[in-house]
Amino acid sequence: MHQWVNKVSDFIMKKHYEVIIIGAGIWGLSTAYHLAKYGQKGVLVLERNSDIAAETTPQAAGLVGQIRSTDIMFQAIHYALDLFSNFPKETGYDTSLQQTGSLMIALTPERMDAYKKQIIKAKKNNIEADFISDGEISKLVPSINLSKIEGGFFVPNDGYVDPYECASAYANAAKDLGVEISFNTPVKGLCQEKNEIHGVETNEGIIESANVIITAGPWGALLVKETDTISAVQPIRHQRARTMPTDNIPDVHPVVRIPDLSCYLRPEKGGYLYGYFEPNPVSIDLEKMPAEFRTKDLEQPITVMKDAKNRLSPIFPILNDLDITEYNRGMTTFSPDGAYMIGPVSGIDRLYLATGCAALGIAGSAAVGKWLSNWVMNGDPGEDISDFSHERFGDKVADLEWLRRETEDCYANYYSIRTE
């Protein structure tokens, strides 16, 4: 065991909390909000930066799409849309949800066949989704070049949020309910004794807590590694760009996903935002990075976004006339099957880890916060989330080459045609 996993008896306890959450990204803040909403007292969020949501979260496109491949994720996104839309009424804070719908574009007959199955599955899960005509497509998205597409279906209740605004809404609501957030407080280690968590070590010393939840995004796996746990996730760079504003975007414009190009697009600040899952993913080994390495240190994704533009511009020729005004990039954590990694860390009581957000952590944040809160307060996540168990890959996780290969494959094929 590494020296920075300290024994509780090595320190004098300074203060006692019931739950410490490590990381004030959108997962940590949703968890803090849910705990407080369910009546949990003594919740402290520790964040090493000087603001909330300063790493992966603000880089996101914020898409909240209901077309998923598993029942649990259908339910999770349903819960997110419900929570986000009712949040202003319930808390006074706006999550910035825009329910513009989303348009799933097909470029091939094979994709249209896959869409038929997705629509049937969506309807079984009570989600409105149907093929629409070319005329309807161009009404919704006037800049689309219909001659280059096969067709598409529309999901009217899908939408998107501004991820920072959404995280702020959780943070403000949590604070109103008594949650404390401590900034500039990096957690340096976990304190445990006899396989039980007792708190965390910070620069200010030990902070004692009955429960510790790690929602440290790409850094979560590093924190638990020191408890002899290997978390089966790989941070992989993901990126998006935003163009200069244009008058050609209607006030209400859906999210457009073009899985055959591994691209998505939506309006932002008067221009187009587009994102891209490139075929040759870039993994990041955080263990080899200096401790101060942050999201902002990732290289600007100029070349890869040029590739995205080349893919998209036959369908959206307007992109050729619009300069890019902003690039965003961050590290999404991928597990080998692309599903979340959430739950207790085996062998250490009352220590929980949530990671493996894939590129779905904004949309999933509501459910993740709910599951973790239920787990801490009731000993059970409240729904069957065994799909996300930390143990599901068995001993294979020790094979780091396997882990990298599988996770990169998962990222590169994020939008592949699914057969299930």
User: Which residues sit at the interface with ligand FAD, rule CB under 6 A?
Assistant: 22-28, 46-49, 53-57, 59-63, 186-187, 215-217, 219, 223, 238-240, 275, 328-330, 332, 357, 359-363
Please, what is the minimum distance in Å from the beta carbon of residue 152 to ligand FAD?
19
The DSSP element (H or E) to which 324 belongs, if any, is strand 324-334
Q: Residue 333: how many CB atoms within 10 A of its CB? A: 27
Please, what is the minimum distance in Å from the beta carbon of residue 263 to ligand FAD?
12
Nearer residue to ligand FAD within complex by CB, 60 or 105: 60
Angle at 214 between CA 210 and CA 216, to 5 degrees: 150
Nearer residue to ligand FAD within complex by CB, 151 or 266: 266
User: Do the beta carbons of residue 104 and residue 259 sit within 8 Å?
Assistant: yes
Integer Cα distance of 93 and 37 in angstroms:
14
* Length in residues, the chain: 420
Find how far residue 24's CA is from the centre of its chain: 13
Please, what is the minimum distance in Å from the beta carbon of residue 359 to ligand FAD?
4
Integer Cα distance of 291 and 39 in angstroms:
36
User: Do the beta carbons of residue 367 and residue 354 sit within 8 Å?
Assistant: no
CA distances from 207 to 61, 102, 191, 193, 339 (A): 35, 45, 9, 14, 32
Please, what is the minimum distance in Å from the beta carbon of residue 53 to ligand FAD?
6
Integer Cα distance of 1 and 278 in angstroms:
37
Amino acid at 152: G
Please, what is the minimum distance in Å from the beta carbon of residue 247 to ligand FAD?
25
Please, what is the minimum distance in Å from the beta carbon of residue 181 to ligand FAD?
11
Please, what is the minimum distance in Å from the beta carbon of residue 275 to ligand FAD?
5
Nearer residue to ligand FAD within complex by CB, 151 or 240: 240
Please, what is the minimum distance in Å from the beta carbon of residue 354 to ligand FAD?
7
User: Do the beta carbons of residue 166 and residue 26 sit within 8 Å?
Assistant: yes
The SS3 assignment for 302 reads helix
Nearer residue to ligand FAD within complex by CB, 112 or 222: 222
Nearer residue to ligand FAD within complex by CB, 17 or 151: 17
- Residues β-bridged to residue 190: 200
Please, what is the minimum distance in Å from the beta carbon of residue 37 to ligand FAD?
18
Return the beta strands (E) in 80-183 as ranges.
102-106, 130-131, 151-155, 159-160, 180-182
User: Do the beta carbons of residue 87 and residue 93 sit within 8 Å?
Assistant: yes
Nearer residue to ligand FAD within complex by CB, 152 or 330: 330
Integer Cα distance of 185 and 49 in angstroms:
7
CA nearest neighbour of 334 among 264, 413, 244 = 413
Return the beta strands (E) in 351-407 as ranges.
351-355
Nearer residue to ligand FAD within complex by CB, 151 or 254: 254
Nearer residue to ligand FAD within complex by CB, 36 or 304: 304
Please, what is the minimum distance in Å from the beta carbon of residue 213 to ligand FAD?
11
Nearer residue to ligand FAD within complex by CB, 25 or 151: 25
CB proximity list for 292: less than 8 A, separation 6 or greater: none
Nearer residue to ligand FAD within complex by CB, 304 or 319: 304
